[in-house]
Amino acid sequence: MNRGKWFDLLSDNWMLLATLLMSILPLSVGFGLLIESMPLLRQYHLRHLVSSSAWSPAEGKFGMISFITGTLWVTGLSLCMAAPVSLLVSIYITQYAKPWLMRTIHLVMDILAGIPSVVYGVWGVLVIVPWISQKLAPALGYSSSGYCVLSGGIVLAVMSIPYILHLQIEIFRTIPIELKEISLSLGATYWETIKYVLLKQARRGIIASVGLGISKALGETIAVLMVVGNVPQIPENMFQAGYPLPALIANNYGEMMSIPHYLSALMFAGLILFLIICLFNSISHWIIHKMHQT
C-alpha cells in the first residue's frame, strides 16, 4: 500500500472516530447525570419529586414542579416572540430586501450572537425589568416588580432570534428560484408564491430552526437568573416571578453541599433539563418526519 492510500485510510479512521465520539456524547452526558441523581431517586419516589412544589433542602424537600413550570413559562414566552419575528424577517430579507440591507442584517445577527449572555442579563435588568414594572404591567392591570417570567422570555427571545434567523435565511436561499418563477408565470401574486410555494418547501427547515432555538433558550442561565426573580413558585401569569432549572443549578451549585442529597437534587434538575431538551428535539424531528411522508 502506497503512502497516499495509508494517508486516506488514516484520515477515514480519524473522521470515523470523531463521528462516533460526537454520537455518544449526548448519551454520556445523560448517563452521567442519571448516575449522580441516583442517591436522590433511591431516597424519594420519582412521581413525588416531579409533582411536589415543596423546596427546602435543609428539611429534605426537593420538589421540582415549580422549577419545571418556570422553565416552560420562560421558554414558551421566548418561543412565542422569537418564532414569528424570525420568520417574518427571514422572508423579507430573502424576498424583498435590497442587498445592502441583507448585509446589514447579517452584521447585526453576528453582533447579537456574539454578545455574552451576562450582557443580555444586564440589559434586561436596566431596560426590560423597569419597563414591565412601570409601564406594561400597570397598563394591563397587573402589579409586578418586573423580575418575572416575561422578562426572562423577552431576554431569551432576543438571544434566540440570531440563531433561528440565520438558519431560516439559509433555508430560503436553498429553494430553487425556478419554483418561484414558475409560480409567478402561472399568475400567482408574490405573496401567494411565498405562502404556497416557498413556505411549503421550507417548512421542515423552519421547524428544525425553531427546535434549535428552543434548545438554545432552555439552556441559557446567567441572563435568565438575573431577570426572572428566582422565586420557587408556580407562576400563575407572566408577570409573576419564576425559577427555571438552569438558574436553580447556577445559583446553588457549590453551596450547602453538606446537606444530604442536595448535590444529587441539582444533578436531578440537570437531568430533567436534559430530558426536556431531548423531548423538544424529538418532537421537532418527528414532525419533520411526518411531513416528509405526506
pLDDT digits (tens, 9 = 90+) for 208-218: 888 777 777 77
pLDDT of residue 293: 64
| Contact in structure between 235 and 150 (CB atoms under 8 Å) | no
pLDDT of residue 106: 84
Residue 65, C-beta contacts closer than 8 angstroms, at least 6 positions apart: 50, 51, 52, 53, 234
Q: Which residue has the cell 417548512?
A: 203
| Contact in structure between 194 and 91 (CB atoms under 8 Å) | yes
pLDDT of residue 266: 86
Tens of pLDDT, residue by residue over 144-162, are: 888 999 999 999 888 888 8
pLDDT of residue 208: 81
- In terms of pTM, does the model score above 0.85? no
Using DSSP, state whether 181 is helix, strand or coil: helix
Calculate the CA dihedral of residues 248, 123, 128, 235 and round it to 10 degrees: -10
pLDDT of residue 130: 92
C-alpha cell recorded at residue 253: 451549585
pLDDT of residue 201: 84
The segments of the chain whose pLDDT lies below 70 read 1-3, 219, 221, 254-258, 291-294
pLDDT of residue 129: 93
pLDDT of residue 277: 83
Rounded CA-CA distance 7/12 in Å is 9
The architecture of the domain spanning 65-293 is: Orthogonal Bundle (1.10)
Question: Which of 246, 212, 191, 189 lies closest to 72, judged by CA?
Answer: 246
Rounded CA-CA distance 270/60 in Å is 19
Rounded CA-CA distance 49/41 in Å is 8
Instruction: Kindly report the average pLDDT of the chain as a whole number.
Output: 85
